[in-house]
Amino acid sequence: MKSFGVLLVFAASLTLSLAWVVEEKKCGPREAWVACPLCLPTCKDPNPLYCHRFLCEEGCGCQPSFVRHNGECISRKECPNLKENALAPSHTKEQIQCKKCAENH
């Protein structure tokens, strides 16, 4: 009977854990769940140069071609008061290193 109780408690905790994981993976509009959202582009920094290698946590990041602005993912073209050339998508050396860093975590 004790083993049944232990099994029941284990099953309940597993169910709650799985429900928490599923709940965490809900992202907002134009967002996607990423295992390690490093070097996230924003309107102020559309091509981030610094990777937070040791601050890797799962979470929602903007989908490709979108950047974070005031907590939302918007099109790069919608960024206010920024030079057009600063918003041109590019793959800098740092972004490639960032991608490699994310793949290793």
Compute the distance between CA of residue 1 and CA of residue 52 in angstroms, rounded to an integer. 50
Residue 81 sits at φ, ψ, to 5 deg, of: 55, 40
Q: pLDDT category, 58, cuts 50, 70, 90? A: confident
Compute the distance between CA of residue 44 and CA of residue 5 in angstroms, rounded to an integer. 55
pTM for this predicted structure: 0.51
Nearest to 48 by CA among 71, 72, 68: 68
> Mind listing the domains of the chain with CATH numbers?
25-103 (2.10.25.10)
User: What digits encode the pLDDT tens for the residues 8-39?
Assistant: 444 445 444 444 444 457 899 999 988 776 67
31: its two tokens: 């967002």
